Amino acid sequence: MTRPIPDAFLKGIDRLEPLPVTAQALLRSVTDGDVSFAKIADLIELDQAVAANLLRLSRSAAYSGAQNVTTVREALLRLGTSTLLDLVLGDFMKRLKFSAPMYRLSEDDLWLHGAGAHLAVRAIQQERPNSKIPQAALTAALVHDIGKLVMVRHLKADVAVILQYCHDQQVTFVEAERALFGTDHAAVGAAMARKWKFPEAITDAIARHHDAELHHSTPVIDAVVTANLVAKTIGMGLGAEGLNLRVDMSCPRRLGLDFESFSRVCVQTAMWIDDVREAHGLGSGKHPAQVH
């Protein structure tokens, strides 16, 4: 169901910074295939930060783990344009650097939560290689909470008021958003995705990732809902919402995940996210060894 979005948020979405040129070209390449490989390689070579990240990622265990990749073109061939799109979008989200007090998320939390969900989809693909999860699910997981960006920019909401409302009315955090502000971060995120011309499968997954009962779900939505739960379970971006969310458990079931395999996905995701945190100088979540 599409919920109308109040004017203040629509104006905020209109004023959003555009996506980086590289991300726009990659989106066009992924959706229409109308941007050549050579053009993408040229764009990446102009962007030092993305080029360095691309090389690092292509050598990391979560991706190809190929130590001998030395050029942007080799890395691009190995990883493909969808993975590169995720890398550029992740970099964009990381550079936005905003804290979100109404969600009790610090500057890096929102990006890390998206990165955790993205890696969770990879872990599900590894756990269930026959589940046929489309590549779009990886991108959708990365950006599923992007609506929080506009919510915090246009609301001076006190998190204590939201939490009190959740407590008094016995509702989830996202239901409190809807009741108090007339919209929620899923609807706002979907409107942002439409403005940025994301493929429909991704926009749809962002819009419905908090629906308690999903009608006509898709493999992308199943993956995003499950990945969000994995990220939360391993403590990535819990924020004020914590685990106060409804999850349609038919999503992990449709992906063939039972309790044991879900737990393995959580462990794998936690190990990969530790590598990502360390690579970005954020320290790992690993606890230091005790010294006696």
**Binding stretches for Fe ion (CB under 5 A):** 145, 228
Residue whose CB is less far from Fe ion, 23 or 231: 231
Q: Which helix (H) or strand (E) holds 47?
A: none
CB 90 within 8 A of CB 118: yes
Residue whose CB is less far from Fe ion, 79 or 190: 190
Specify the amino acid at residue 158: D
Least distance CB 221 / Fe ion (angstroms) = 13
Residue whose CB is less far from Fe ion, 91 or 109: 109
Residue whose CB is less far from Fe ion, 86 or 145: 145
CB 206 within 8 A of CB 89: no
Q: How far apart are CA 220 and CA 232, in angstroms?
A: 18
CB 193 within 8 A of CB 203: yes
- Comparing CA positions, the residue from 209, 194, 150 lying closest to residue 27 is 194
Least distance CB 223 / Fe ion (angstroms) = 13
Q: How far apart are CA 90 and CA 95, in angstroms?
A: 9
At 100, is the secondary structure helix, strand, or coil? strand
Least distance CB 209 / Fe ion (angstroms) = 6
Q: Which residues pair with 100 in a beta bridge?
A: 105
Least distance CB 230 / Fe ion (angstroms) = 10
Residue whose CB is less far from Fe ion, 145 or 204: 145
Q: How far apart are CA 210 and CA 191, in angstroms?
A: 15
Specify the amino acid at residue 124: I
Residue whose CB is less far from Fe ion, 145 or 175: 145
Least distance CB 152 / Fe ion (angstroms) = 13
Least distance CB 232 / Fe ion (angstroms) = 7
